[in-house]
Amino acid sequence: MYEDPVNYVRLEEDRKVLPEWPQSHFSHPATVSKGVLRTILSGLKVQEHRVAPLRWIQGEAPLELVFNDNEVTLLSAEMADALALAQYNERVTFYLSEPLTFARRTITSGGLYIQGTELHLLLGNWRIIYGIPTYGMIYDRRYPMRPTVAKGFDLFFEPADAVIPQQSSVLDNLLANSKDELVIDLSKVTTQERTPVSLPSSVF
């Protein structure tokens, strides 16, 4: 879809989506305006995950924006194009990086898909410093939805009333994996560019 020396937006097949199981199919292709995607990407925030004793000592960590303005501009345009071309078993993945040295870079990566009026977004890595191995497979570009290290952050979206709550296990909560994925109700995302929904190829 889109690729430059340090970033990309791609379509990737999700092997968990089975042709014989329609309930698993994504609502793709989907027409989602750049304005809606810009609103969503601009509303994503992360917070350092702190266990209860650490919160008692240090308090809550501050919320930080996931993407800067340039990243929002790039991703909103390329994701809109990708969703319009995606098939029922393809998700949109993204990878952003900034070289630090010859062997190290900062990466942010993840993916998204749409089912009905719900946008599912997973943040695999956020501003992680990745050491490029001298030999062997380079995992960060190959698997954008997989964390390269323990995550240690929680993902939020504002306005919060657009988020559909999801259940998570005790283990996920302990490992800070319970809040790395959001399900957003697209019908509650407000933007001047929004248009009515049309299914099965949804339009926002």
What is the Cα–Cα distance from 100 to 185, expressed in whole angstroms?
37
pLDDT of residue 174: 52
Stretch 188-196: mean pLDDT: 62
Note the pLDDT tens digit of each residue in 119-173.
Answer: 999 999 999 999 988 776 678 899 999 999 888 889 999 999 999 998 765 445 4
More confident residue, 58 or 176: 58
Contacts of 189 (CB under 8 A, 6+ apart): 36, 39, 40, 162, 204
Stretch 85-103: mean pLDDT: 96
Highest-confidence segment of 58-62, 110-114, 142-146, 174-178: 110-114
What is the C-alpha R_g of the chain?
A: 17
More confident residue, 52 or 106: 106
pLDDT of residue 199: 47
Report helix, strand or coil for 53. Answer: helix
Contacts of 54 (CB under 8 A, 6+ apart): none
72, 97, 126 from 153: Cα distances, Å: 20, 18, 8
51, 81, 175, 177, 199 from 48: Cα distances, Å: 10, 32, 12, 12, 37
